[in-house]
Amino acid sequence: MGLVARHVEAAGVPTLCMSSALDITRSVNPPRAAFLDFPLGHTTGKPNQPELQRKILADALSSFEAMTVPGSVRALPYRWSDDEGWKDRAFAEGDERKPRHDTPQYQDEEDRRRAEAGGSPSCPVCRS
Amino acid sequence: MAPVDYIPRIRDNYARLGYKPYNWVANADPPPWTPLSKPLSECRLGLVASGGIYATGQVAFHYKDDISTREIPADVDIQELRATHFAYDVSDARKDPNVVFPVDPLRRLVREGFLGSLASRFHTFMGGIYSARRVTEEIAPLLAARFREDGVDAVLLVPV
């Protein structure tokens, strides 16, 4: 995503990249980044915690006004849990990548039915 | 505890699976820089997320080098959002898509006056794309063009 950020920024639009992987973000080196030290799959917070999600987004977005140095990474002040054992387990036994099917992988069969029927009636752009 | 070093862990994992070593992107040059043109409270914000989010009714992403994108209307009902991805545990994203596609907190920040407004559509794709060249030459220019059409003043990018 850092590559996209660099491209969009070069095209004249300021960008901010969220990050869960500090070493990858530093390597790609986007213009602005906000690092949230949570497990992958939680780039902007914990599920069903709207207050926390709001604080994370407000903190991160304030970087647009606060940052002045290209390549800055701001560490957000939130911890996933007191026990940081999840860090030892991340990729420790390999990831659980799914087989690389080349057909659409729907969350549920109703989605497949709707997509094959030509979209959702309540979603105008879903018909493309 | 220090942040997880993902690059060596993923390198070891690929070696275990017998894959070729992945060439991580390393940009030593300073990134481009465009200052914000107005206060955040007056900015229209664009959003792109790579957690494999689609809206029900759309064709889902597939797991073999999918570089397609989806447009999600900014007023989408959160109940219509779905998550699919080959490389991360999507269970929390399926419970609450805001963990990788933060539409509810962004709408709230607009209501509070912290942000000016949101673009009329958001953009999604499924990350984990092996080819950095295809991201640079295909996805990045396409998204930059979309954001120009959307007339946004700033863009938030949410990878997984």
**Chain A interface, best mutation among B12, B33, B137, by max A CB count within 10 A:** B33
Q: Tell me if A72 is assigned to some domain.
A: yes
User: Which pLDDT does position A90 carry in this prediction?
Assistant: 84
Q: Which residue, A50, A9, A1, A54, is CA-closest to A28?
A: A1
Structure tokens at A73: 């990474």
Q: What is the pTM of this model?
A: 0.94
**pLDDT above 70: residue A120:** no
Considering only CA atoms, which of B131, B129, B11, B91 is closest in space to residue A91?
Answer: B11
Q: Give the minimum alpha-carbon distance from B34 to chain A in angstroms, rounded to a whole number.
A: 5
Please give the mean pLDDT across all residues of chain B: 94
Judged by average pLDDT, the poorest of A82-91, A117-126, B51-60, B138-147 is: A117-126
* pLDDT, position B150: 96
Distance from CA of A110 to the nearest CA of B (A): 8
Render pLDDT for B82-120 as a digit per residue (tens, 0 to 9): 999 988 899 999 999 999 999 999 999 999 999 999 999
Which DSSP symbol is given to B53?
E
The reported pLDDT for the residue numbered A126 is 56
Element spanning B69, H or E: strand B69-73
Chain A residue numbers with beta carbons less than 8 Å from the beta carbon of B158 are 1, 18, 43-44
CA dist B111 to A79, A84, B122, Å? 27, 35, 18
Rounded to whole angstroms, the Cα distance separating A33 from A75 reads: 9
User: What phi-psi label fits residue B65: left (phi over 0), alpha (psi between -120 and 50 degrees) or beta?
Assistant: left
Q: CB atoms < 10 A from the CB of A53, how many? A: 22
Q: By CA distance, what is B86's nearest residue in A? A: A98
Residue A49 belongs to some domain of the structure: yes
For residues A29 and A13, is the Cβ–Cβ distance under 8 A? no
Range of the domain at A62: 1-81
Contacts B62 to A, Cβ<8 Å:
101-105
Beta bridge partners, B70, equal: B124
Decide if pLDDT at B142 tops 80.
Answer: yes
Query: Worst-scoring range by mean pLDDT, B60-64, B67-71, B108-112?
Result: B60-64
ipTM attached to this prediction: 0.95
pLDDT digits (tens, 9 = 90+) for A49-104: 999 999 999 999 999 999 999 999 999 999 999 999 999 988 766 566 777 888 99
How many domains are contained in chain A? 1
Q: Does residue A37 fall inside a structural domain?
A: yes
- pLDDT for A46: 98
